Amino acid sequence: MARQATRVAQRVAVATEVLRDEKFNARRIELAEAALETLGELGFARTSLREIAQNSAFTHGVFHYYFSDKLDLICCCVRHYKAKCVTRYDEVVTSAQSRDELTEGFLAKLAATLQDEARMHRLWYDLRSQAMFEAAFRKDVLEIDKSLEAMIWRIASRYAELGGTRPASSPAALYALFDGLFQSALLKHLANDDRAIPELLDEVRRLLPTIC
Amino acid sequence: MARQATRVAQRVAVATEVLRDEKFNARRIELAEAALETLGELGFARTSLREIAQNSAFTHGVFHYYFSDKLDLICCCVRHYKAKCVTRYDEVVTSAQSRDELTEGFLAKLAATLQDEARMHRLWYDLRSQAMFEAAFRKDVLEIDKSLEAMIWRIASRYAELGGTRPASSPAALYALFDGLFQSALLKHLANDDRAIPELLDEVRRLLPTIC
DNA sequence: CCAGAAGCTTGACACTTGTCAAGCGCGAAT
DNA sequence: ATTCGCGCTTGACAAGTGTCAAGCTTCTGG
């Protein structure tokens, strides 16, 4: 009887702790999301915790309650960003029934991404560059890079499959190519070059049949 | 007579002014070079003028004598970096008499660059990312990007020429590909991944015959 | 040789930064 | 109802930032 009671008490204690943990984690993500807004606006170099706090519903002290320091916060941001980013084209890949359909779906998403999420993507490139200086970022960044490479590979494989062929390049080369093209287009787009998006689409449209 | 004298005086005045200008510019470049050291070490975000000065033979005040502000200094750095960077492969391109020779020369330089000049190149990627946030950098960065694209194109054209063919891709796509591969290899190399350089070389060796 | 400019150093300024300790309110457990 | 502790705010701290003015040294033209 007493034994059962303590067991129940234990279970309750564990349950409440799990609940607290979940709540804690949810808040962390909320804060990370707020931080991403400001980071996307200003870039890593110019973003301070106070600036982040001011552009959000929180005060600057909270961030030190939920994160051990600034790097911890930004690592959390990067990891959170990843989850959103990596699945962007999956719906197109699984639903497309022909090369044309896949191509058009991919290009449309590509254009929309460049148009609507330029800020998040320039932040990604910023943080990836930071990882070259700051070892603390490297693990997460390399992991995301791998995920993005896999994402591109899924598209290329499906494209090849729909034509009964196999991709003509390695996953690394394909990712490098698309990433390079996207990065360059993003910079031009941000410099108010209206040709950036159409040129990127043309390039990709031309490339897909030759390399996949 | 008097007229001649004033003309001579004018010429002298002009000459001294030109000399002063050259001296001024030489100093600017000297300072920019010193700044590049620290920038390559710490990255844009963590580099302050005082830090730059401390890692050099100068005091922090000089930088304000020669540059209107921090952005001006860094723009000068970027421009100076460009001049060094863009001609890296030209000797190989002009001297190679066969595809093999060009390939091996290119790969050797590529490996050496990654090995010896990793810091300068991570800085380049850093500043290119900064240009996505800071409009003041964009013009110079876009210009350098164009130069680098042309540099890759010279290599590819020569490679194709030596085999009696023509490059199979656009300059933009080729540059994106090589830049993407290099960037990824650089990050891995900086993360102490010993396979980074050989993997890059393998990839490029495989790629050259298929795309050029 | 000397006045004045050029080149450079120094120190101060106003401000921002990350960090943290003290304390507040409020809900939950006792 | 009281106590306790979690979540959060506030304010302060030292360190570091870009900028600039005042002054020192060195060179140079007259």
Q: Are A118 and A202 within one domain?
A: yes
Domain that holds residue B173: 86-211
The total of structural domains in chain B comes to 2
Cβ distance of B132 and A43 shorter than 8 Å? yes
Tell me which nucleotides of strand C come within 7 A of a protein CB.
Answer: 6-11, 16-22, 29
Q: Are B41 and B90 within one domain?
A: no
CA–CA separation, A85 and A120 (whole Å): 10
The whole-angstrom distance between B192's CA and the closest CA on chain A is 10
Q: Which residues of chain A carry a pLDDT beneath 70?
A: 1-18
> What is the widest separation between alpha-carbon atoms in chain A?
76
pLDDT for A23 equals 86
Residue B156 placed within a domain: yes
**Stretch B141-154: mean pLDDT, rounded?**
96
What pLDDT, in 10s, does the model give residues A33-62?
999 999 999 999 999 999 999 999 999 999
pLDDT for A1 equals 47
Q: Are B205 and B169 within one domain?
A: yes
For the cut 70, the answer to whether the pLDDT of residue B8 exceeds it is no
DSSP state for residue A74 in the 8-state scheme? H
Which parts of the protein come within 7 Å of strand D, by CB position? A 20, 23-24, 27, 58-62, 65-66; B 16, 47-51, 60-61, 64, 69-70
The rounded mean pLDDT for chain A is 92
% of chain B residues with pLDDT over 70: 92
% of chain B residues with pLDDT over 90: 84
What pLDDT, in 10s, does the model give residues A91-113?
999 999 999 999 999 999 999 99
Q: Where are the alpha helices (DSSP H) in A61-195?
A: 62-66, 70-85, 90-95, 99-116, 118-131, 135-162, 171-190
Residue A103 placed within a domain: yes
Polymer length in residues for chain B: 212
pLDDT for A81 equals 85
Which residues of chain B make contact with A167, given a CB cutoff of 8 A?
none
Cβ distance of B203 and A172 shorter than 8 Å? yes
pLDDT for A178 equals 98
Q: Are B7 and B105 within one domain?
A: no
Q: Assign residue A27 the CATH number of its domain.
A: 1.10.10.60
Residue A125 placed within a domain: yes
The rounded mean pLDDT for chain B is 92
What pLDDT, in 10s, does the model give residues B24-64?
999 999 999 999 999 999 999 999 999 999 999 999 999 99
Residue B131 placed within a domain: yes
Q: Are A99 and A179 within one domain?
A: yes
Choose the closest CB to A173 out of B44, B145, B181: B181
Closest residue, chain B, to A118 (C-alpha): B132
Taking the CA of residue B59 and the C1' sugar atom of nucleotide D14, their distance in angstroms comes to: 24
Which residues of chain A make contact with B129, given a CB cutoff of 8 A?
43, 122, 125-126, 128-129
What pLDDT, in 10s, does the model give residues B188-212?
999 999 999 999 999 999 999 998 8
Residue A81 placed within a domain: no
pLDDT for B13 equals 60
For the cut 80, the answer to whether the pLDDT of residue B184 exceeds it is yes
Q: Assign residue A165 the CATH number of its domain.
A: 1.10.357
Taking the CA of residue B91 and the C1' sugar atom of nucleotide D6, their distance in angstroms comes to: 67
pTM: 0.93
pLDDT for A85 equals 85
CB B64 within 8 A of CB B73: no
Cβ distance of A173 and B203 shorter than 8 Å? yes
Q: Are B108 and B34 within one domain?
A: no
Residue B77 placed within a domain: no
Q: Are A8 and A44 within one domain?
A: yes
Q: Which tokens go with A170?
A: 């390695």
